[in-house]
Amino acid sequence: MEAKPMTDFSKLCIHTITTRPWPLDGAIRHYAAAGVAGISVWRQAIEGQDPVQAGRRIREAGMAVVSLVRGGFYPALGKKDRQKAIRENLRIIDEAAALGAPHIVLVCGAVPGQPLGESRKQIREGIQATLEHAAAAGVKLAIEPLHPMYADSRSAVNTLSQANDMAEAIDSPLVGVAVDVYHLWWDPQLEQQIRRCGRLGKILAFHICDWKSPTEDLLNDRGLMGEGCIPIRRIRGWVESTGFAGFNEVEIFSTSRWAGDQEHWLQEILRAYREAS
């Protein structure tokens, strides 16, 4: 069943990377003025800043901090590098707590040439090694399955089924999944796997954008909702029917959009959010 169109922005969250040319304060100002309710903060956007202050500025502007993006990248060929990744993730958890973000989105990582099964084992161990710290900080971890075209170097977790398997295996109330339509729309098991993690209360985030035909670049040619072939409203219907009541997070990497006027781009996002999300 398709979800109903969104008529206001009370569930709209935008990832800072979507308007990448704007520094954090520009994003806060423009999003808030447009009535956007939430913001997901990419780490680059607060680099060199005090995350406590950044979080405060977001809340003072009337917005919610929805998530910190991104942790993960646990796999590595050597043990030292894996331990380094775990230490980095502990720092990211501190950053999320300081920012006031309830969860971190995990791009889990992969090492070209290392068997994917081995990378998945390292991902599980990496997450587990940070759980105590995450619990103390009150920060959840959202495993984001990435499109199979990123299996070489970005994530060995490439379907919602695999993310659910991993979240179940870790079996912690701190660990859930992020459902991103860009990565998952093609999967014939998607509806069933959304039901599965929904039943377990493990959907921590829902990300939207679109898949353009043709897509010119593997990384930075995502489409605005309505520009592509993803049945966003249908997928949102599946997610909401599990009881998920969180934000619809617009996360769009687009070299061509970043090159244009960002105020105009934000207006297009608002229009597309109502018309095609």
Q: Which residues bind its own copies (CB under 8 A)?
A: 112-113, 115-117, 147-149, 151-153, 158, 162, 185-188, 211, 213-216, 218, 228-229, 231
Shortest separation between residue 238's beta carbon and its own copies, angstroms: 13
Nearer to its own copies, 138 or 231 (CB): 231
Nearer to its own copies, 52 or 218 (CB): 218
Nearer to its own copies, 94 or 118 (CB): 118
Shortest separation between residue 231's beta carbon and its own copies, angstroms: 7
Nearer to its own copies, 256 or 267 (CB): 256
Q: Are 142 and 105 in contact (CB under 8 A)?
A: yes
Nearer to its own copies, 28 or 156 (CB): 156
Shortest separation between residue 233's beta carbon and its own copies, angstroms: 12
Shortest separation between residue 168's beta carbon and its own copies, angstroms: 15
Shortest separation between residue 53's beta carbon and its own copies, angstroms: 36
Shortest separation between residue 56's beta carbon and its own copies, angstroms: 38
Nearer to its own copies, 47 or 216 (CB): 216
